[in-house]
Structure 1
Amino acid sequence: MDHEEGIRLRKRALKPIETKREKIHKLGAEEEEEICWCEKEINNEEEPLSPSARLFHEPNFNVHIIAIMGCVTRINPDVIKPRLFHTLLNHPRFSSLLVVDEKNGGKMKWVRTEVDLDKHVIVPDVNHADMESPDHFVEDYIFELSKTSMDKSRPPWDLHLLNVKTSQSEAVGIFRVHHSLGDGTSLISLLLACTHQVSDPEALPTIPMKKEKQDSRKGEFGGFWGWLFRFWLVLQFVWNTIVDVFMFMATAVFLKDSNSPLKGPPGIEHNPRRFVFRTVSLDDMKFIKNAMNMTVNDVALGMTQAGLSRYLNRRYGENKKDEEGSTQKKNNIPNKIRLRSTLLVNIRPSAGIQSLADMMEKKKGSEAKWGNWIGYILLPFTIGLKDDPLDYIRKAKSTIDRKKNSFEAIYTFFIAEIVLKLFGIKVASALSHRIISHTTMCFSNLVGPLEEIGFYGHQIAYLAPSSYGQPHALMINFQSYVNKMTIVLSVDEDTIPDPHQLCDDIVESLRLIKDALLHN
């Protein structure tokens, strides 16, 4: 089936937006989130927005997700467009408009529509002769893109194809999606479900699944002592959850992070963002992981804490440059600095990219579900100069292990839902904004494919996801891909004028941690 024939079929399957339906589906928050797309009629033209999706359309939460894809070869738009039509557009969200139902109290809903791919797949005319640096050109292009919002007259996503040879790729694709379409992890999973292994074009990528670690101490006890041990674990979960929920409420009311060179001022969510990234060896991170009996996520958090400490020490040192001896080696960081990251966690388990691929192929029995069930985790960062670089990793593992023994994300999700139901979207938006703006940054670590993949026949060199529109001056994302890890920074340049230096500090911290292990 060619592209034109596909459009004709879709026109017959979908009714115009102006079509009036006699009955609008009325779903509760839980019910509308639990929709399994494969069980819905594909031509169902209207769908109410979930509470979380409505939140991302508030003026202070107009968040867009960016996925930068470097390609090994030049990108052919004529190959991309027909493949998008038969995959991504089969997902109802990517072929629906956001419509405000004025007759029904201004409620928002998704309405299926025809999609003109020429308006979604953007191929700018690039003048290579006037280009001083291809890397800076791509960086500036994304910076200018972050100044804009989605056109409300069409589904809120687009794909920009830049046939510009950079230091890491022959071409760059920039996939931009409004956050109301889904959470970041689900959207990246959907993107990966559109790819296939280079070595086997019929096979989807292999994404490692999280394995629940059994407590090594559990088998040491039996009978009464085993029961006592399990009771102690339950108490740990209860106590940790109580403390975390209390800190969540305190942050909503009064508890703010320390003012630092990384913390942005009020209104930061409206500023454009500079996106910079570096690629490091995933094998180096796994070496540290295995040597210290921890996870890659522990290593990512530890090297981030070390990099932020190096950067802040330099920035505070610049403020003290008139004082004698204020150098990078001297500790210029204030005592007991409070710096936390907000993690927005989708507490709904992911069905995996196979289910998403089946859904896009309209296969019956797909288990793919969609929607944001967002909980909050407030992750404290250890900031300060350490004599032993490994201390950053040890502290990161301790912090993450502590957070694993808590139901913080679940309870904060329910708190947000209760606020939404009792006081409405405006109050819920204000609460979420207050929580995030009282912290310093956002941090995430996404697991990517184990093998080389191709996006509709275009081999991927790297993946670099991030976002803009959040009330933070700094967002740090880690994205693994085969044997590489890409560190992506989204920054407000008024707050962080030297993001490349910050990125270098994180990379240098990885080297110092690895060297410390080798010399132990």
Structure 2
Amino acid sequence: MNAGSGSRFVATPPPNLPLSERESAETEWSEEPMSPTGRLMEDVGVHIVAMLGLGIPLNLPVFRAGIEKELLPRYPRFSSIQVMDDSTGGKPRWVRTTVNLDDHIMVPKVNPTAVASDPEKAVEDYVAALTTVPMDRRRPLWDFHFLDFPTSKATSTMVLRIHHSIGDGMSFMTLFVASSCSTDDPSKQAAMPPPPKRTGPIYQRQPRPPLSSGKALLMWAFSYLVLAWHTLVDGVLLVATVLFLCDPRTLFTRADRGRKAHLCKRFVHRSLSLDDIKFIKNVVNCTINDVLVGVTSAAISQYYFRKSGDINTKKICLRSFLLVDARPVSSRQTCVSKVETGNRFSGLICPFHIALHDDPLEHVRRAKRLMDRKKNSLEVMLTRLVGEFLVKYLSVKIGAFFLRLFLTRTTIMLSNVVGPAEHITLCGHPVVFMAGSVYGQPQALTVHYENYGNTIEITLAVDDVQFPDCHQLLDDFGESVRLIKDAASLHIVK
């Protein structure tokens, strides 16, 4: 059921922007070409799903007013459609259009019996069914779905579905922060986590030491040789993956191995303690991302050995495509006066070893060594450049073909989005949790982490047929955090 009064809305830049930025926004937001990455997402058909638990019952007029006042003006692609531009050889462009909010806001009637018996499953079933419904391309490619009944974690649930060609997870996260306020102090904007030590992409060049320091200068020069070697190896593996290199078949491999995918994706999620993750990080002296990669390796290992009954402890190597935000980390900070649109992400191959370890901390240690190695490579930049080259100089069809081929030969998609450091109130509704993921990608399993306040929400997007016991797999992630934390505590005692 659509909600609202049938009003139409033309987005304009928010009035609180400085005059210079407002004039610039009015000029830039009229039309713009679609980026190569956006065109790839368009052709592959990847969509983003964000599930937000609300702390109060739905107040539709208030939320609707917030969408009109905050979200639409700040994100012009919410008010744009894709139009083929004959003057540029048929390349698509974003063109502004009038938005009828009734086409984008839904308050469905969910079976009351299903809600009464298991409200969490009712939400899951609704979102899973949503992945089988195509979006109307005559309108901007986004929609809100409000499930106005309580679950164990929230009073009501908002589901935002967006086509990935409009933007990526980080651009939408900064949009939410820019359009919201702190729940604890409504007079302030919510704070993003403090930036990491680096200020640029995953790899940064080391400053050259003084010429008088012979040994340091020699090590600096040697580091560039190592960088070149690692980049060459990673580049060869990327090409080999596209051409012939496949992961071994396991119960995580998509059943049809690259042919027609199952239409339905199911999303399950739960909260992990950010303090527990930080505790493990400090013990191992690594990053939060290293811990999450290690937890993922431990969880899929635990699930595999229980499910398969395999008693052979020989390591099995499965690879994931790890998404990496290519923006400077400074763009994640609190005061976001102008939200950056579009897709600015790349990726790298992140191997996981399915193995049994006497010390659960070994999963994190291995993850740290792996990520340290990846930080000494230009693989992220290379992946992005190759994708843009294929789209710009060959065609989007060829680029999408190679992307699908690459993804079908890896087993898992993995991502981690940095969220607000405190709870936010969005469009007049306090948000108690955020759980995001994607669908449309070839892999049968996608693991997505998203920190929010003092928690990290893990969301699994699974093939609904291949993983009927997906909640057991989700339990393995929580159990893996507990086991690794206990091992870290014993490590301190020793």
TM-score, normalised by the number of residues in structure 1: 0.84
> What is the alpha-carbon distance in structure 2 between the residues aligned to residue 37 and residue 310 of structure 1?
53
C-alpha change, 1:243 and 1:125, in structure 2 (3 Å) is same
> What is the alpha-carbon distance in structure 2 between the residues aligned to residue 280 and residue 239 of structure 1?
38
> Is the Cα contact below 8 Å between 2:323 and 2:414 reproduced in 1?
no
Aligned positions of 1:265-344 closer than 5 A: 265=256, 266-267=258-259, 269=261, 271-317=263-309, 331-332=311-312, 335-344=314-323
- Could you say which residue in structure 2 is the equivalent of 1:118? 102
C-alpha change, 1:12 and 1:431, in structure 2 (3 Å) is closer
C-alpha deviation, 1:356, in angstroms: 8.1
SS in 2 for 1:377: strand
C-alpha deviation, 1:223, in angstroms: 1.1
The one of 50, 53, 63 equivalent to 1:70 is: 53
1:373-408: per-residue Cα shift (whole Å, max 9, x none)?
443301111211111111101001111111111111
Gaps in structure 1 of 5+ consecutive residues = 14-35, 318-325, 360-367
Q: Does 1:98 align with 2:88?
A: no
Aligned length: 471
C-alpha deviation, 1:436, in angstroms: 1.1
> Is the Cα contact below 8 Å between 2:247 and 2:411 reproduced in 1?
yes
C-alpha change, 1:104 and 1:357, in structure 2 (3 Å) is same
- Could you say which residue in structure 1 is the equivalent of 2:331? 352
The amino acid of 2:136's aligned partner reads D
The one of 468, 472, 484 equivalent to 1:513 is: 484
> Is the Cα contact below 8 Å between 1:71 and 1:170 reproduced in 2?
yes
1:432-488: per-residue Cα shift (whole Å, max 9, x none)?
111111100111122222222111221111110101001110100111111111111
C-alpha change, 1:281 and 1:95, in structure 2 (3 Å) is same
SS in 1 for 2:99: coil
C-alpha deviation, 1:357, in angstroms: 4.4
- Could you say which residue in structure 2 is the equivalent of 1:156? 141
> What is the alpha-carbon distance in structure 2 between the residues aligned to residue 353 and residue 162 of structure 1?
30
> What is the alpha-carbon distance in structure 1 between the residues aligned to residue 393 and residue 333 of structure 2?
38
1:354-377: per-residue Cα shift (whole Å, max 9, x none)?
688423xxxxxxxx5433244330
TM-score, normalised by the number of residues in structure 2: 0.88
> Is the Cα contact below 8 Å between 1:56 and 1:179 reproduced in 2?
yes
C-alpha deviation, 1:38, in angstroms: 6.5
> Is the Cα contact below 8 Å between 2:11 and 2:76 reproduced in 1?
no
Q: State the identity as a percent.
A: 39
The one of 414, 419, 422 equivalent to 1:448 is: 419
> Is the Cα contact below 8 Å between 2:189 and 2:334 reproduced in 1?
no
> What is the alpha-carbon distance in structure 1 between the residues aligned to residue 271 and residue 162 of structure 2?
23
User: Over the residues paired in the alignment, what is the CA RMSD in angstroms?
Assistant: 2.9
The one of 383, 389, 394 equivalent to 2:354 is: 383
> Is the Cα contact below 8 Å between 1:193 and 1:354 reproduced in 2?
no
- Could you say which residue in structure 1 is the equivalent of 2:376? 405
C-alpha deviation, 1:270, in angstroms: 5.3
Q: Does 1:166 align with 2:151?
A: yes
SS in 2 for 1:338: strand
Q: Does 1:258 align with 2:237?
A: no
C-alpha deviation, 1:200, in angstroms: 1.9
Aligned positions of 1:419-498 closer than 5 A: 419-498=390-469
The amino acid of 2:108's aligned partner reads P
C-alpha change, 1:106 and 1:451, in structure 2 (3 Å) is same
SS in 2 for 1:124: coil
Q: Which of 412-421 and 450-459 deviates more?
A: 412-421
C-alpha deviation, 1:507, in angstroms: 0.9
> What is the alpha-carbon distance in structure 2 between the residues aligned to residue 276 and residue 441 of structure 1?
16
Q: Which of 96-105 and 248-257 deviates more?
A: 96-105
Q: Which of 409-418 and 393-402 deviates more?
A: 409-418
C-alpha deviation, 1:290, in angstroms: 1.2
Aligned positions of 1:203-214 closer than 5 A: 203-208=188-193, 209-212=195-198
Aligned positions of 1:180-259 closer than 5 A: 180-208=165-193, 209-212=195-198, 223-259=213-249
The amino acid of 1:88's aligned partner reads L
> What is the alpha-carbon distance in structure 1 between the residues aligned to residue 449 and residue 212 of structure 2?
41
The amino acid of 2:95's aligned partner reads V
> Is the Cα contact below 8 Å between 1:190 and 1:353 reproduced in 2?
no
> Is the Cα contact below 8 Å between 1:390 and 1:513 reproduced in 2?
yes
C-alpha deviation, 1:421, in angstroms: 3.0
> What is the alpha-carbon distance in structure 2 between the residues aligned to residue 97 and residue 113 of structure 1?
7
C-alpha deviation, 1:269, in angstroms: 4.7
> What is the alpha-carbon distance in structure 2 between the residues aligned to residue 38 and residue 385 of structure 1?
59
SS in 2 for 1:150: coil
The amino acid of 1:178's aligned partner reads H
SS in 2 for 1:41: helix
> What is the alpha-carbon distance in structure 1 between the residues aligned to residue 12 and residue 343 of structure 2?
31
SS in 2 for 1:450: coil
The 4+ residue runs of structure 1 with deviation greater than 6 A are: 213-216
> Is the Cα contact below 8 Å between 1:351 and 1:369 reproduced in 2?
no
C-alpha deviation, 1:104, in angstroms: 6.4
Q: Does 1:392 align with 2:363?
A: yes
C-alpha change, 1:417 and 1:356, in structure 2 (3 Å) is farther
C-alpha change, 1:174 and 1:37, in structure 2 (3 Å) is farther
SS in 2 for 1:315: helix
> Is the Cα contact below 8 Å between 1:268 and 1:472 reproduced in 2?
no
